Amino acid sequence: MILDEIIRRTERRVARLPDSFPEHGMSPQLILTDAIQNRNGRNAIIAEIKCASPSRGIIRRNVDIPMMAGVLEQGGCAALSVLTEPYFFGGTVLDIGRVKSAVNLPVLRKDFIIDERQIAESRALGADAVLLIAAILKDRLPDFVDTAIGTGLEPLVEVHTADEADVALATKAAIIGINNRNLATLGIDRSTTRILSERIRQEGRLVVSESGMRSADDVREMKPYCDAFLIGSSIMSHEHPRKKLEEFVCA
């Protein structure tokens, strides 16, 4: 399974991390929850900068990361997600700083977080929020959420099943992402958001619908069920990323 290989590669990366990271020079945090909620009628889109994926291969070649961040900020996104996994998604941890230097938006570090040192690393890199995947962390999720909050990062907890949603709701995470993609099969079913969102919203958490948004019609269909969307491939693969993002923002 591709996820197993991603985790094996991640373990090798984590093995090279230091035990601590310097805290000096850290940038003030921008608040993702505020960015999602204060949209003045526009859709809250977390636009994702990613150059490749296991399901699509190369999505966009020779990306100027700061320039792309600026283009997406101009397109009206609420925040930016930056994929830092190098082997399958073509990212690097250096992209966090490149994006932060180019825009004034909350930046979510999206990677496969399996070790608490990666949370400290994310803060040192300048991220404002960090993705925590319930399917990977399982019963360690509450501790990782607490560590992220204690480090000054907003955790966005990703779930795909009702059981994972229950685990996420038992944590202090204010934002829960519902991934419409099954990480085992890589198949997408947008009804996952419809099925899981009500329970999560009843608990007062913000819902982010992740994966599977290809058109403005998709966003219009799903917006009653969530507070924000995380969209990457459809934007990054488009000839004019800003134009595509604007369609989602205004849908």
d(CA 233, CA 231): 7
Q: Active site includes 158?
A: yes
**Which residue is catalytic, options 43, 53, 100, 110?**
110
75 in Cβ contact with 245 (< 8 Å) = yes
**Which residue is catalytic, options 48, 164, 246, 247?**
48
Q: Active site includes 85?
A: no
Q: Active site includes 246?
A: no
d(CA 250, CA 101): 27
Question: First and final CA of the chain: distance in angstroms?
Answer: 36
Q: Active site includes 244?
A: no
Helix 141-151 with 116-125: angle, nearest 10 deg: 30
**Which residue is catalytic, options 73, 85, 121, 158?**
158
Nearest to 190, CA basis, from 222, 227, 236, 224: 222
**Which residue is catalytic, options 50, 81, 100, 234?**
50
**Which residue is catalytic, options 81, 197, 211, 233?**
211
164 in Cβ contact with 135 (< 8 Å) = yes
Q: Active site includes 198?
A: no
**Which residue is catalytic, options 85, 121, 164, 210?**
210
**Which residue is catalytic, options 179, 180, 209, 233?**
179
What are the structure tokens assigned to 85, written together?
Answer: 């996994």
d(CA 19, CA 195): 40
Active site residues: 48, 50, 110, 158, 179, 210-211
